[in-house]
Amino acid sequence: MFKTTVTPRFGDMDGLGHINNTVLPVWFEQSRNPIFRIFTPDLNPAKWKLIMVRTEFDFVDELFYGIDVEIKTYVLNIGNTSFTVGHEAWQYGKLRAKGKAIMVHYDFGLKKSIQIPDSIRESLKEHLYPEE
C-alpha cells in the first residue's frame, strides 16, 4: 500500500466549505505515481506504458479544507493486461471517500494492450489488497 498526504488548497473548496467533487480524481491520480513508477521509473511520458480505461469514486463523508488528507493506494486485482487500483481518502482518521481505477498496460505505438510482464506483476503483487 502507498500513502500520500494531500493538503487541500483553498481553491479545492466549494461554496459549502467541502472539497469539490472535481478535486478527488486529481488527488487519486497523484497518489498513483508510485504505481506509475513501477511501469515507467522516470515518469517520462515518451516511455509511458499505461492508459486508464475506467475510474469511479464515492464520497462516504464530507472532506474539508484546512486539514490534510491521507490517500491510501493499493492494487485490488491483476489481470493479463490490466489491473485495478483502489483508493481511499482519509481525514480526521476517518474514511471520507473511496474509488477505483482500471489501468491497462498499453503500447501507444501499436495502439493495443499488451501483457503485463512477470517482473512488473510481482511488483504489483506487493501492493495487492484484494476486494472483499
Domains along the chain with CATH numbers: 2-125 (3.10.129.10)
Give the three cell numbers for residue 36.
506509475
pLDDT of residue 132: 61
pLDDT tens across 18-50, in order? Answer: 898 899 999 999 999 999 999 999 999 999 999
97 has a pLDDT exceeding 70: yes
Q: What pLDDT score was predicted for residue 68? A: 95
Q: Which residues have a Cβ under 8 Å from the Cβ of 69 and sit 6 or more positions away? A: 5, 6, 7, 8, 19, 27, 63, 89, 90, 91, 96
What are the pLDDT digits (tens) for 50-68? 999 999 999 999 999 989 9
Residue 62 CA to residue 58 CA, distance in Å, equals 11
**3-state SS, one letter per residue, for the chain:** CEEEEECCCHHHECCCCEECCCCHHHHHHHHCHHHHHHHCCCCCHHHCCEEEEEEEEEECCCCECCCCEEEEEEEEEECCCEEEEEEEEEECCEEEEEEEEEEEEEECCCCEECCCCHHHHHHHHCCECCCC
Across the range 69-80, mean pLDDT stands at 96
Question: What's this model's pTM, rounded to 2 decimal places?
Answer: 0.89
Q: How confident is the model at residue 15 (pLDDT cuts 50, 70, 90)?
A: confident
124: its cell numbers: 504489483
For the chain, the residue count is: 132
